[in-house]
Amino acid sequence: MELEVYNISGKKTDKKVKLNTSIFGITPNDHAIYLDTKHYMASQRQGSHSSKEKAEITGSTRKIKRQKGTGTARAGSIKSGIFRGGGRIFGPKPRDYSFKLNKKLKKLARRSALTYKAKEKSITILEDFKFEAPKTKDYLNMLMNLNVSDKKTLLILPEADMNVVLSSRNLQKTKVVLADSLNTYDILNANNLLIAEGSMEKIEKILA
């Protein structure tokens, strides 16, 4: 599949880019996509939640009523989770939600996600560009010129460009990532991928 290259004014250039079929034309593996997306979302969790259990509650250790003859269940501590103000029973504790995923499976998942985007014709190749200064208006004009201003977009750059990143930061439906940090979740979460021409070589080097 060949795609035409556009500039930030939304006009076609005389260049074309051929998509690598080993990345953009494989048989997608949905389970790999599921695992890699789950891995990404799990890694984003802080896992800092914590609740106090019975042993951590401040309170008297006196037995609050006699063991037998009350007609109700026995109770040995006011700090029990069945009483108001008592400890949380099986409450959350700090933990790490991340898990290991093989590199080959991650690559398969990203190739599968890119294949879906290629089939949906949701990929636009952009001529390499730079902004002279960080201006949200310039970034928004670029999206309007490409007819994607009302959609979720993911811009993939070959290298860091703070002017572009800062220009996009105030826009809710946009995200800018580097080619070497591309992940399955971001690919699928966007309606349209805007890939800078220089990023194609890096994507092929990483995923081919």
- Which residues make up the CATH 3.40.1370.10 domain(s) of the chain? 2-45+101-207
Q: Which residues pair with 175 in a beta bridge?
A: 154
Tens digits of residue pLDDT in 145-204: 999 999 999 999 999 999 999 999 999 999 999 999 999 999 999 999 999 999 999 999
Which tokens in the block code for residue 122?
A: 């949701």
List phi, psi (to 5°) of 109.
-65, -40
pLDDT per residue, tens digit, the chain (208 aa), is: 789 999 999 899 989 999 999 999 999 999 999 999 999 999 999 999 999 999 999 988 899 999 999 999 999 899 999 999 999 999 999 999 999 999 999 999 999 999 999 999 999 999 999 999 999 999 999 999 999 999 999 999 999 999 999 999 999 999 999 999 999 999 999 999 999 999 999 999 999 8
Q: Which fold, 2-45+101-207?
A: Ribosomal Protein L4; Chain: A; (3.40.1370)
Whether this prediction's pTM lies above 0.85 is answered by no
194 close to 163: Cβ distance less than 8 angstroms:
no
b/e map 178-203, b = 16+ CB within 10 Å: ebeebbbbbbbebebbbbbbbbbebb
CB neighbours of residue 2 within 10 Å: 8
* pLDDT on residue 163: 94
